[in-house]
Chains A and B, each alone.
Chain A
Amino acid sequence: MKYLTYILRNARRNPARTGLTIASIAISMFLMMILTSFFAAMQEANSASRQYNRIIVMNANGFAGVVPIARVRQIAAMDGVVAATPFAWYGGKYQNQRVLFAQFGVDADSVFDTLEEFHLPDDQLAAFKADKAGAVVGPKLAREYGLKIGDAMPLQGDVYPVDLKLNIHGIYESPRNSDQRMVLFHHDYLDDQLRLLGPSSSSGSSATQPSGRAGNAGIVFVRCKDAAATAALCKKVDDEYRSTDNPTRTQTEEAFGQMFSEMMGGMKDMVFWIGCAVVVSLLFVAGNAMAMAMRERTMEIAVLKAIGFGKGLVLTLVLVEAVLVAGLGGALGTLGSKALFDLFDVSPYTGGFLPFFYVPWRVALAGLGVSLFVGFVSGVVPAVMAAGSSVVDGLRKVV
């Protein structure tokens, strides 16, 4: 486009003003990326879990209730089940600090069959299985704490009145959008320690009494043989235990994740409205900057029209300039945040709240789209004014 030189020079005409416009759009978009990506990344991981054909068994009363450990075997034996493992939250301290990573008691024999996207080299897996106090850790956690195979990892009980003296036998690998900061250890080891404290009450309703947790699985991850089997198995498991002391609630892993994000449904709405407010204020910021630029160029626009620049062309030039400026700010904010979080892992600083965080492409591109839209809309009024302004009046301003 032969007019591009003129447009670009105009955009750079008042570097401070253009810079401020770009900066406000970039910063707003950056913050919007963080707010929206939080939900979008979670959603994406959720939807991605569909491919693994897993269902999750929890107590019908939610996390306050328990699932007896014996059921892991019963469920694993059901038709259509490939593997099943308990997932018991330990929530201990490490190095006397309340730690910011998840520790789960699992079944060493089945956990890597159940979580097929998690990988552990055979020798490490064998070593893990062979040592009841063995543990495997996520790669990010290993990096952060400088953990190596062969290291001891003592955890102090916080929720439970028992300590765990774990030995690290492996470092697993897993996809980017999974928790790479977990400690997985033998559920049996935790259970043994709890049993040593005394007889457990089998009622299972005594979640507030930690010793009563012995013999309980937390939740159960179940891998089904295919997607078609998941719905039937959810029903089958729940039917099986309906009339027991601990009826279950079984759902797909995606639905389970959905449940979590629904807990934050109100926040989602809030983020949406914040986003709308941001867009409106950006419209004013960008629109005002563009209107100021046009006012300064009244004479020049009159000259351009005098020498034959038509209304449509003037309109286009102004609009393209507005879209370029806003687009540049948007690109900085959206692609910048994407690049930043791709390169720089914030999970250690979120208190374990976000095991992974990244800006999904569709969020970044949507943000860029919104920025271009902001540019276009903010440019419309100044552009129409410039296009419709009188040549004769514009020229008189100078003389």
Chain B
Amino acid sequence: MSAPPSIELRGVEKEYRRDEFVVPVLQGLDLSVADGEYLALMGPSGSGKTTLLNLVAGLDVATRGQVIVHGQDLGRLSEGQITRWRADNVGFIFQTYNLVPVLTAAENVELPLLLTKLSRKRRRENVATALRVVGLEGRERHYPRQLSGGQEQRVAIARAIATDPFLLVADEPTGDLDRGTADEILELLEQLNREFEKTIVMVTHDPLAARRAGRILHLDKGRLVDDVINDSAAAAG
């Protein structure tokens, strides 16, 4: 792949301070991700996967080094700017879906659209499109408690793609789902990557899930220990 790097990490370190103790979480991380890549991030618990995802998604800042996305050094953005940047560029998918329980499926998907200048009509259209993409047309008025786990995760994915961000970050998106449902969700992510050319960074414990990604990274104790191109996924795609 010769596409210009979409996401670049240069010498990234992340530490947490607890009183006098400094806990190093990520160390000497260099990484380059192209637009449209589908990355799986694996590693034991506590190895720093979520921390890395947070850096890439602009939720957290590196202690040292740079996180550069589309030429923008995220560390240099103010809090307001980075918030705006996330709204424009990143879609979030969580293990526990994290839908707003008092809002319907459609209203949940509309949340990120409220931050845009789109008219009410356009917002409704975007919501309908996003729900159609995730296969939930007809469920607009359902509340999260009226949906199954898989359906909730679909709503969460619809919310993540509603503003058409280029990057999707997913932290163990199938961690709470049974095998069959998990496969459906993974299918959907693959489709978003293939058809809509979303760059995806997905944290997972599940080797079957990771196998769907085009590239698999392994973290251990805050270091990148493995970085392989997954030919089987490329072949499948």
Contacts and interface: CB of A to CB of B under 8 A. Distances in A.
Interface of A: 2-3, 5-6, 9-10, 12-13, 299-300, 303-311, 313, 391-392, 395-396, 398-399
B100 A308 contact: no
B79 interface: yes
A12 B95 CA distance: 27
A54 to B, nearest CB: 61
Interface stretch (B28-36, B106-114, B126-134, B192-200): B106-114
Given A300-B100, A303-B94, A304-B111, A399 B86 contact: no
Interface residues of B, number: 31
B228 interface: no
A307 B87 contact: yes
B96 interface: yes
Nearest to A308: B87
Interface of B: 50, 54, 57, 59-60, 79-80, 83-84, 86-88, 91-92, 94-96, 98, 100-103, 107, 111-112, 114-115, 120, 159, 171-172
A309 B91 CA distance: 13
Contact of B114 (A2, A13, A299, A305): A2
- Chain A interface, >50% SS class: helix
B59 A308 contact: no
A209 to B, nearest CB: 76
Given A304-B111, A307-B87, A308-B87, 14 more contacts: A6-B107, A10-B102, A13-B101, A13-B102, A299-B98, A300-B100, A303-B92, A306-B86, A306-B92, A308-B115, A391-B59, A392-B54, A392-B60, A399-B172
A34 to B, nearest CB: 36
B92 A6 contact: no
A395 B94 contact: yes
Contacts of A392: 54, 59-60
Nearest to A12: B102
A104 B65 CA distance: 94
A396 B59 CA distance: 12
A399 B98 CA distance: 11
B95 A308 contact: no
